Structure 1
Amino acid sequence: MFIPEHYKNTDIKEIHDFLKKNSFGILINTIEGKPWGTHIPLELTKNSADKDILVGHIAKANLQSKNLIDGDEVLCIFNGPHSYISSSWYKEEEVPTWNYIAVHVYGTIKIQTSEELLKSLYALVDKYEQQSEHPISLNDMSKKTMRQVTGIIGFEIEINDIQAVKKLSQGREHDHPKIINELDKQGAPEKAVADEMKKRTL
């Protein structure tokens, strides 16, 4: 990913926090010379060797599943808040732009055993059910329902490289108050960008 130096984020703790909060990503590999992507949750955790990994699963009916091979390198893309930035918010004439946060993760695939897949599914459901008023558990699912697990494959991605960009109007700090004010007038995505910009001014 092309990242101008002043937009590059190298704070690994901050990047890990971002991945945990924005875990719905895009898994990309190549099938017969053509890029192929699937939108799925990819959870950041550690393997038995204490190395950072992403864990996910996809349907066996997905052509991508038949082209995930142990040792292959894949790319995972994660997007955070983003928003159009009008140059009418600047004190001086300039072209408009876009503010955004994104992370690209490169890693090596390892297909999970059925036991490893089940363990990761339990962890995934338990994590997101915490927000439910009446949380469910896979422990309470019938054998008939759980048979659906046979239709997916699980995998781990050992992380080899992380590229993170945080473009939040760096270099235009004198315009930040106006930009933040304008973003705060708009919807949730724009407000999220404003909140990220506010963190930089604290």
Structure 2
Amino acid sequence: MYPPPHHQSKDIQKMISVIKAYPFAMLVSAEGNTPFVTHIPIIYNEKTGKLVAHIDKQNPQMETLVNGAEVTVVFKGPDCYISPSVYSTPQLPTWNYIIVHITGTIQLINDPEASKQTMVAMTEFLEQPEHTFKLAMDDPRMDRLINYIQAFEIEITNWEGKFKLSQDKNAADFQLAKTALLESSQKDIAGFLEGIYKRGA
């Protein structure tokens, strides 16, 4: 297994937290030996347990997105370089990161009203917490757009959490790495060290 077990997490709630915090994802599919990758916002539907998104119908990747097709979605959390200078023991340079890989099957949403609802739901999610803009189902701009996008859901079949956060270091070096992150501009990954990932969890 890669990465090593101590850098993996099977905690779905941790992975959902990453998905919510970093919804701009990579949608990966393939046709024969040709890979397709599109960067789009993808949100997690708490009620259905599925991922939801939409893509431009003119995107060449659409040829691979048929009902039942297998795709991988990559949610990239924070990452940063860790200098050996922060540790109390001899170490080599390394990189810490948080990545979530989701594998699932495509379910196309062809009903125009259901497609609009995915756009409303995504906007509502992305506008939180202030909600300074609200997208209405009867917004006439949606009627003009709906024929040019393909909404879809992804039925999740596999979760992979990759949390490389100095778990393999001794307790003192783990704390030193966390302190260095907190003191750096990488406060987002430090927050994960403090919150989503608990040493020994």
User: Is 2:33 the partner of 1:33?
Assistant: yes
Partner of 1:193: 189
Partner of 2:18: 18
Partner of 2:166: 169
Deviation at 1:64, TM superposition (A): 0.7
Give the counterpart of 1:94 among 85, 91, 94: 91
Deviation at 1:171, TM superposition (A): 2.4
CA contact (8 A) 2:57 2:150 kept: yes
Deviation at 1:110, TM superposition (A): 1.1
Q: Which range moved further: 73-82 or 60-69?
A: 60-69
Alignment of 1:40-189 (within 5 A): 40-45=40-45, 50=48, 52-113=49-110, 114-132=112-130, 134-139=132-137, 141=139, 143-144=140-141, 146-172=143-169, 173-187=171-185
Deviation at 1:74, TM superposition (A): 0.4
Kindly provide the amino acid, as one letter, of the partner of residue 198 in structure 1. Answer: E
Unaligned runs of 5+ in 1: none
Distance 1:135 1:182, change over 3 A: same
CA contact (8 A) 2:22 2:76 kept: yes
SS of 1:159's partner is: strand
Deviation at 1:134, TM superposition (A): 3.4
Kindly provide the amino acid, as one letter, of the partner of residue 175 in structure 1. Answer: D
- Counterpart Cα distance in 1 of 2:71 and 2:102: 8
SS of 1:70's partner is: coil
- Counterpart Cα distance in 2 of 1:65 and 1:179: 43
Distance 1:201 1:8, change over 3 A: closer
Partner of 2:5: 5
- Counterpart Cα distance in 2 of 1:10 and 1:133: 32
Supply the RMSD in Å over aligned alpha carbons: 2.2
SS of 1:81's partner is: strand
What number of residue pairs does the alignment pair up?
196
Consecutive aligned runs of 4 or more in structure 1 exceeding 4 Å deviation:
none
Q: Give CA-to-partner distance per residue, 1:65-120, whole Å, 9 cap, x none.
A: 13211111000000111111111111222211111111100001111122321111
- Counterpart Cα distance in 2 of 1:46 and 1:96: 39
Q: Give CA-to-partner distance per residue, 1:142-187, whole Å, 9 cap, x none.
A: x255301211101111001111111110121221232223222321
Q: Which range moved further: 11-20 or 56-65?
A: 11-20
What TM-score comes out, normalization by structure 1 length? 0.87
CA contact (8 A) 1:60 1:66 kept: no
